[in-house]
Amino acid sequence: MENNPLLIGKGIPPFEAIEPEQVVPGITLLLAELDQELTRLENKITPTWSGLVEPLDNLTERLTWSWGVVGHLMSVKNSPELRKAYESVQPQVVQFTNKLNQSQPLYKACKALRAGKDWSSLEPAQQRIVEAAIRDAELSGVGLEAQKRDRFNEIQRSLAELATKFSNNVLDATKAFSMTLTSKDEVSGLPPSLTSLAAQTARAAGEEGATPENGPWRITLDYPSYIPFLKHSNRRDLRQKLYKAFVSRASKGDWDNTYVIERILELRQEQAALLGFDSYAQLSLASKMAPDIAAVEALLEELRCTSYEAALKDLDELKAFAAAKGVLETTQLQQWDVSFWSERQREEKFAFSAEQLRPYFPLPQVLDGLFTLVKRLFGVSVTAADGTVPVWHEDVRYFQIADYTGAAIAYFYLDPYSRPAEKRGGAWMNECINRAKITEGSTTTTRLPVAYLVCNQTPPVDGKPSLMTFNEVETLFHEFGHGLQHMLTQVDYPGAAGINNIEWDAVELPSQFMENWCYDRATLMGMAKHYETGEPLPDHFYQKLLAARNYMSGSAMLRQLHFGFVDIELHHYYQPGGNESPADVRNRIAKTTTILPPLPEDKFLCAFGHIFAGGYAAGYYSYKWAEVLSADAFAAFEEAGLEDEEAISATGKRYRDTVLALGGGLHPMEVFKAFRGREPSTEALLRHSGLAGVC
């Protein structure tokens, strides 16, 4: 136990020393120590910042560090042994967290601090931290009587276990399906990037002689395999098979999430009722930027009205295009045809293909372009620091961020490639270490923030670097935007540093903001260089990329709105045990939020990890809510002049000093107004999407 790396509690995690068998004894001992520490704190508490918040931070950060490391490894290094250990000790973690959140002495001390004479002397960030602690305690059941509190805690434990089960089922179901193709006809239409990846995947699965030219080729449900196959395969029957496998993931057999979903919704509704809310959505919004359900629905409906007609037009044009090619299947376009024909239409309409761009976006070059941009905007330098810290996989990289003096101000890990056997899908940023002022004896130092940036892009294949699709480039920029808010914070209190204490529906602002720069001429042309020749992307490709930016944008927006409406409906109006199942609700909502209705086999909800295993329950609307903010924020740079370096630098400094620096220390509306000088408008989002004036 003395050498258990999970008990270090601070600093860079020693990933090379962490084994699954250390999780249960390490976390069990840690929880016992923290329980004693909590008791001591409750007995000697004083309602002051130094007597309450600082010791509480010290306590919670030990748990956040240790359990955070385990949770991170569950996402990127999943294994049966780690999964068993995690599930074994998770109920104890939830139990302690409930005890901490429901501590009457801590709650009363926070309220006493807020009502005391020293309150006005606290900084706004400190006041926000205390107010959030009071609110979160109330939303965690601190005011419940014994029997109701016990039931609330039981629900919390069950929901945590169900979320883990949901996520594991999706991972296992995704991993379990594959198509092994053996004839040239079966890979007709596939680009070399995919046949190379498919051959490499086949070799990894035991087909030692697999080659890109002769196969066999293994196609999976992992995004770098699934998406290009649907876009390019000439075999409609195989597209259908793959599509149906994808939309039915985790909906049958040992990995069936149908009951898991129903139980989660039932427990969330009961939890909300215990706290006095009419629905879980109301409980969710109690800590968000949106004032109420009506405001959320108003935004979603405004955007739905705008995008629905555009999406209808998109589909009509696609049908006409496909019909003109004289292919029999186009008389009734199906879901597995849309990606294929939209890619053909895009290629013909804009005279380029997504695959043609790949050679111009090798990961090292994209990183150089990204780092050049953040220096241009925010005056910080990013340099490689590989080999200076332990990593969990050989492909993981480590970087330092420095200010204009060259002094380090933050660090981040980058785990870029897809590993379907052990790594969950999607892309995310997470906290490794939060910024904080640390006082030891008479010395005070600033603890520098460290971020995890995780993607699932196409890995290097056959000696070539990772050649990224433009969508993968946008994803990397998106996650780096989250990372910038974590790493460039100027808040020294962990409770409001970086993304902490930011209302969830504002947290996507800096990430979506960064995506806009992928279309900025200086940024794109600076990083888009052929991986073999070093030649820059030809200008005609840049012009075509700009022209294609809003291709089928109505369909893309409507898809996101469909998810948002379904999420709100399930968490506000749906009644567990009523006449409708969650799938029925989704299909009803689909009548006004999809152009092609879902297939009977489509069990999308069974893999909707955002709301059933992530933080987006009754909050998926946040992507659109924050996109209004991010588009309007980028418009400030457009108004300054994207080619005016002095103006860009000044606007970037203002953005860094507000959106990136202030973290959760101010309400996001106040932060936005500090940057923009006014409240946000939807005008920029609709203009950027090519949908202004449609509705």
Tell me the catalytic residues: 479
Residue 502 · residue 132 · CB < 8 Å? no
Residue 496 · residue 129 · CB < 8 Å? yes
According to DSSP, the β-strands at 381-384 and 217-220 are unpaired
Residue 438 · residue 444 · CB < 8 Å? yes
Quick count: other Cβ atoms within 10 Å of Cβ 476? 25
According to DSSP, the β-strands at 450-457 and 428-433 are antiparallel
Residue 129 · residue 53 · CB < 8 Å? yes
- Amino acid, res. 112: A
Task: Give the DSSP per-residue string, 479-544.
Answer: HHHHHHHHHS----SGGGSTTTT--GGGTTHHHHHHHGGGG-HHHHHHH-B-TTT-PBPPHHHHHH
Residue 405 · residue 381 · CB < 8 Å? no
Residue 345 · residue 489 · CB < 8 Å? no
CA distance 84 to 646: 55
Q: Which of 432, 372, 388 is nearest to 645 (CA)?
A: 372
How many Cα neighbours within 13 Å face the side chain of 82?
18
H or E segment at 676? helix 668-676
Residue 612 · residue 260 · CB < 8 Å? yes
How many Cα neighbours within 13 Å face the side chain of 4?
19
